């Protein structure tokens, strides 16, 4: 006889019982409790170190046995247990498969889930998010715009008049100045697009519309929100595993500050911008023109301004100009 704790699968109340095996049947007895089950119908998970051994019944009941040696004596053949566990080759194969599944979940499952969630977040929530993050940026690296009012109105009118693809979100422009950041424009998770005075001053209106079309692609497809959710989901899993919710709270701001769009998301935003520019009779090469201007500006400032603010620009310069992107945009202008 072997002592065990029995749970009937319907309540969390444990029952002290005695186990014995006779032939091919397991007998379980306790106060006002008795059952018999064929060994073939039982499931016995593989042992995990010194953890109690477990017997799982087909109806949801389970037994926990503290006496590991007694358990091994009662079930010498390990009915229902995994006979492969002692073979290292199978163990390594299982480990590799588990690692492969984890990688696949990270690369494909996580982005899919983030997109699923991002598409279901109400617009009102996104508007609140933008207000919160814009307030943080205003307190740190952004300042009031000093652009001429007529120039701002002209840009706003160009954006208001843009013909957009079906279902696209028209960007809500936010003009800001900054003495600390290089010329840039970037989309917030909720869909607002911040455009800095420095960018407006170095670009003509077609180039500005081109970069805003690119950012509109990020907005319409909720790229920033998806990136944020991906990072947050990783934090959620970690918090669940370690049982410490503070790690989840800590990941949200760091996720935003470290967000960088993947190559696929950048390519998708470029394709969106190309479509917008074609609809509005603007050569896609105008975006390439602006990217080259930004590259030249970065090269000029490499030794000073940009290097000092490198950690900040890691977040804001989320779409670095590249030869691949410029070549694609040029090819679309032919």
Task: Report pLDDT digits (tens) over 148-166.
Answer: 999 999 999 999 999 999 9
If we measure between CA atoms, which residue out of 8, 20, 29 comes closest to residue 70?
20
DSSP 43: B
- The tens digit of pLDDT for each residue in 52-104 reads 899 999 998 999 999 988 998 888 765 444 555 556 777 788 889 988 888 88
| Alpha-carbon 239 to chain mean position | 15
Indicate whether this model's pTM tops 0.85: no
Other CB atoms within 10 A of residue 302 CB? 10
Whether the predicted pLDDT of 312 surpasses 50: no
CA distance to 63, 82, 248, 288, per residue, from 47 (Å) = 14, 10, 32, 61
What's the mean pLDDT when you consider all of the chain?
80
Share of the chain above pLDDT 70, in %: 81
CA–CA separation, 39 vs 43, rounded Å?
A: 8
Indicate left, alpha or beta for 86 from its phi (over 0: left) and psi (-120 to 50: alpha).
alpha
Tokens representing residue 274 in the block: 């190309």
Q: Each residue of 256-305: pLDDT tens digit?
A: 444 556 777 888 899 999 999 999 999 988 988 888 888 888 777 665 54
Q: What is the pLDDT of residue 140?
A: 85
Nearest CA-CA partner of 17 in 73, 66, 59: 66
Residues in a beta bridge with 64: 5, 54
Largest Cα span, the chain: 93
Q: Under DSSP, is residue 30 helix (H, G, I), strand (E, B) or coil?
A: strand
Spatial separation of the C-alpha atoms in residues 298 and 135, rounded to whole Å: 27
pLDDT for 248 beyond 70: no
Of 263, 269, 254, 264, which Cα lies nearest the Cα of 314? 254
- Helix 205-220 with 149-161: angle, nearest 10 deg: 50
Query: Which stretch of DSSP H or E encloses residue 262?
Result: none
* CB-count burial class (<10 Å; 0-12, 13-18, 19+) for 251: buried
User: 91 in helix, strand or coil?
Assistant: helix
Write out the DSSP string of 297-311: HHHHHTTTHHHHTHH
The total number of residues shown for the chain amounts to 334
pLDDT value at residue 274 = 93
């Amino acid at each position: 006889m072997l002592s065990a704790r029995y749970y009937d699968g319907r309540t969390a109340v444990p029952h002290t019982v005695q186990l014995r095996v006779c032939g091919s049947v397991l007998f379980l007895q306790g106060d006002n409790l008795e059952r018999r089950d064929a060994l073939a119908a039982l499931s016995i998970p593989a042992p995990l170190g010194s953890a109690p051994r477990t017997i799982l019944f087909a109806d949801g009941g389970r037994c926990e046995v503290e006496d590991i040696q007694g358990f091994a004596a009662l079930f010498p053949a390990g009915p229902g247990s995994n006979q492969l566990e002692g073979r290292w080759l199978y163990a390594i194969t299982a480990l590799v498969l588990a690692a492969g599944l984890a990688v696949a979940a990270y690369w494909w499952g996580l982005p899919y889930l983030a997109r699923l969630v991002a598409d279901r977040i109400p617009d009102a929530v996104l508007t609140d998010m933008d207000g919160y993050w814009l307030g943080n940026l205003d307190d740190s690296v952004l300042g009031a715009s000093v652009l001429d009012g007529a120039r701002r109105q002209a840009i706003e009118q160009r954006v208001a008049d843009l013909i957009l693809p079906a279902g696209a979100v028209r960007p809500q422009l936010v003009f800001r100045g900054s003495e600390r950041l290089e010329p840039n424009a970037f989309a917030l998770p909720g869909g607002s697009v911040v455009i800095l005075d420095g960018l407006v001053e170095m670009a003509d209106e077609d180039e500005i519309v081109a970069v805003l079309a690119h950012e509109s692609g990020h907005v319409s497809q909720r790229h920033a929100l998806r990136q944020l959710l991906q990072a947050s989901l990783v934090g959620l899993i970690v918090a669940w595993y370690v049982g410490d919710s503070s790690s989840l709270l800590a990941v949200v701001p760091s996720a935003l500050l470290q967000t960088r769009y993947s190559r696929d998301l950048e390519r998708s935003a470029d394709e969106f911008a190309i479509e917008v520019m074609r609809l509005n009779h603007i050569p896609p090469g105008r975006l390439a023109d602006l990217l080259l201007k930004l590259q030249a500006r970065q090269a000029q400032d490499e030794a000073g301004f940009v290097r000092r603010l490198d950690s900040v620009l890691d977040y804001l310069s989320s779409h670095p100009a590249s030869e691949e992107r410029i070549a694609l945009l040029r090819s679309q202008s032919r």
